[in-house]
């Protein structure tokens, strides 16, 4: 018998979460750096209607399971929409609440564990969510200014602001001991 295909493992993970279980996963990209890096292990729990601003969620996307941060929840749409963004990504996206598989509740890296829902881990979540939102706001403000002034190419100011906020996120992560 050979290895179990990824699609089968993903279906089993989804089923376990739907039945109230928890699932360990490996992080495969640095889109959530500095909090989550490729190779980290994360514990995903079912969350249903308990998603909060700043939470890190796992959702189904065409590219496969994706791990991003919640920057907004629009409950006035059908179905409700989650505004999501990878902390290291420059732009945000929107997904249906029904696409959410679960919430990341713990991160293990090199033998050290961080509870993301309580205490220091939750504070780190809120700080990184705020910085991610500020970085996104800087990019959107830069786009609005370019449109207003009819500038076709980015001037780089918004990109520099986003880079500065990313560097600040890295510094905060080091100070708070997320590495």
pLDDT value for 102: 95
With tokens 């993903």, the residue in question is 10
* Domains along the chain with CATH numbers: 6-176 (2.10.109.10)
- More confident: 125 or 151: 125
Distance between start and end Cα atoms, the chain: 38
Q: What is the pLDDT of residue 159?
A: 61
Which contacts qualify for 78-81: CB closer than 8 Å, 24 or more apart? Answer: none
How many CA atoms lie less than 13 Å away from 56 in the CB half-sphere? Answer: 32
pLDDT value at 68 more than 60: yes
Q: Give the pLDDT score at 111.
A: 92
What pLDDT digit, counting tens, does each position of 79-91 carry? Answer: 999 999 998 887 8
The helix or strand, by DSSP H or E, that contains position 24, with its residue range, turns out to be strand 23-26
Distance, in Å, from the CA atom of 116 to the CA atom of 44, rounded to the nearest integer, reads: 11
DSSP of 43-92: EEE--TT---TT-EEEEEETTEEEEEEEEEEETTSSS-EEEEE-TTSS--
pLDDT at 48 over 80: no
The reply to whether the predicted model has a pTM over 0.75 is yes
Is-contact 105 117, C-beta < 8 A? yes
- Cα separation of 31 and 84, whole Å? 12
């Amino acid at each position: 018998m050979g290895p179990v295909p990824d699609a089968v493992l993903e279906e089993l993970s989804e089923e376990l979460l739907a039945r109230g279980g928890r699932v360990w996963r490996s992080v495969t990209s640095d889109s959530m750096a500095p909090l989550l890096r490729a190779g980290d292990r994360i514990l995903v729990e079912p969350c249903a209607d308990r998603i909060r601003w700043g939470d890190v969620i796992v959702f189904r996307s065409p590219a496969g399971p994706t791990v991003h941060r919640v920057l907004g929840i629009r409950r006035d749409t059908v179905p409700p929409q989650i505004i999501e963004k990878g902390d290291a990504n420059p732009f945000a996206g929107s997904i249906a609440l029904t696409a959410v598989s679960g919430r990341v509740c713990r991160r293990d890296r090199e033998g050290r564990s961080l509870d993301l829902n309580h205490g220091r881990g939750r504070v780190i979540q809120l700080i990184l969510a705020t910085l991610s939102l500020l970085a996104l706001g800087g990019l959107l403000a830069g786009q609005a200014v370019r449109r207003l002034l009819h500038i076709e190419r980015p001037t780089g100011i918004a990109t520099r602001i986003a880079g500065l906020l990313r560097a600040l996120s890295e510094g905060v992560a080091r100070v708070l001991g997320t590495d």
